[in-house]
Structure 1
Amino acid sequence: MFAGCPPGWVFAVWGALIVLSLIYEKVRYKPIEAGAPGPGWTKTGERFIDDATGEPVTVWLEPATGERKYVRG
């Protein structure tokens, strides 16, 4: 598969894949916030238990943009 490629390229490709996957994880998975967002946000009625912490999480929505925030409690 990598026949004829300098060994450095193999490590560079693997390194790039690792960096891209870390960036994707930070963008895709949003952190859980401690407090409710400001004005203009509405509760969606969605609640779930966070697998990592075991705490309940409430979903808030900004109707103008469609942005969602995840808040403890």
Structure 2
Amino acid sequence: MKYPDLYRSFLVISAMGTLPFLFAVFFLLAQADSVGAGLLDEKCRQSQGRCLNKCQINEELVALCSKFQKCCRLMEPCQ
């Protein structure tokens, strides 16, 4: 009956290796202002767009901004 004990110890050892990695990933994702957030907003402004939660009917989605917003730009009429 040594197999259940061996299996339990294997699970503990494998969990100890992945827990620090998962903690680091979740910690970086939970940052309020991530490192590249300003870069996304700046890229939107360079393409004559603005960061909004939802684009209007006469706007097109051209990129993504920080905080799950969309970079919207007015559509140009066909000539």
Q: Please indicate the TM-score interval, normalised by the length of the shorter structure.
A: 0.3 to 0.5
Question: Normalising by the residue count of structure 2, what TM-score does the alignment of the two structures yield?
Answer: 0.37
Higher helix content, 1 or 2:
2
Higher strand content, 1 or 2:
1
Bigger Rg over Cα: 2
Higher relative contact order (CA 8 A, sep 6+): 1
Question: Normalising by the residue count of structure 1, what TM-score does the alignment of the two structures yield?
Answer: 0.39
